[in-house]
């Protein structure tokens, strides 16, 4: 999912489609709420898809300059509530999978939750 979004931003695509899963949809909702995407929608095409409308500024620069996957299948990365990452001095976000759902590092810090660090976006 992250690679599809990264590649779509690099070639200036207006939108990107991704196969549907609950985790991907939760991550897409965070992207939209934090201002990294213009809109998201679930599209029923038999198996289901998520359509993400990408966001660009007036000069054509992408809202996302980098998406970095942190936790990988071969090496999971976990962080407690006191050691959650700060991305670019809190100018970016980290997406955390906690016991209460998927949320940003700022929201997890407020709720005093730790979990698996999925990715960083700035």
Q: State whether 24 and 50 are in the same domain.
A: yes
Q: State whether 72 and 49 are in the same domain.
A: no
Q: State whether 71 and 112 are in the same domain.
A: yes
pLDDT of residue 114: 98
- By the 8 A CB rule, do 43 and 10 touch? no
- Give Cβ neighbours of residue 56 (< 8 Å, ≥ 6 apart): 12, 62, 63
Q: What is the CATH number of the domain that holds 81?
A: 3.30.1490.10
Q: State whether 50 and 15 are in the same domain.
A: yes
Domain around 90: 67-121
User: What's the pLDDT tens digit per position in 30-57?
Assistant: 999 999 999 999 999 889 999 999 999 9
pLDDT of residue 42: 97
pLDDT of residue 45: 86
Which residue bears the tokens 């996302």?
A: 64
Which residue bears the tokens 């899963």?
A: 21
The number of distinct structural domains making up the chain is 2
Across the 122 residues of the chain, what is the mean pLDDT of every consecutive 10-residue run? 97 97 98 97 94 96 96 98 96 98 98 98 97
Model pTM? 0.94
């Amino acid at each position: 999912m992250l690679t599809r979004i990264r590649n779509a931003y690099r070639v200036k695509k207006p939108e990107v489609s991704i196969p549907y899963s609950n985790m991907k949809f939760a991550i897409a909702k965070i992207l939209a709420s934090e201002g990294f995407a213009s809109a998201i929608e679930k599209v029923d095409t038999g198996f289901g898809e998520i359509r993400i409308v990408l966001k660009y500024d007036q000069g054509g620069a992408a809202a996302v300059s980098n998406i970095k996957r942190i936790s990988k299948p071969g090496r999971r990365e976990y962080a407690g509530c006191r050691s959650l990452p700060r991305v670019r001095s809190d100018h970016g976000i980290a997406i955390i999978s906690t016991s209460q759902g998927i949320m940003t590092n700022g929201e997890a810090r407020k709720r005093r939750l730790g979990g698996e660090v999925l990715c960083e976006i700035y």
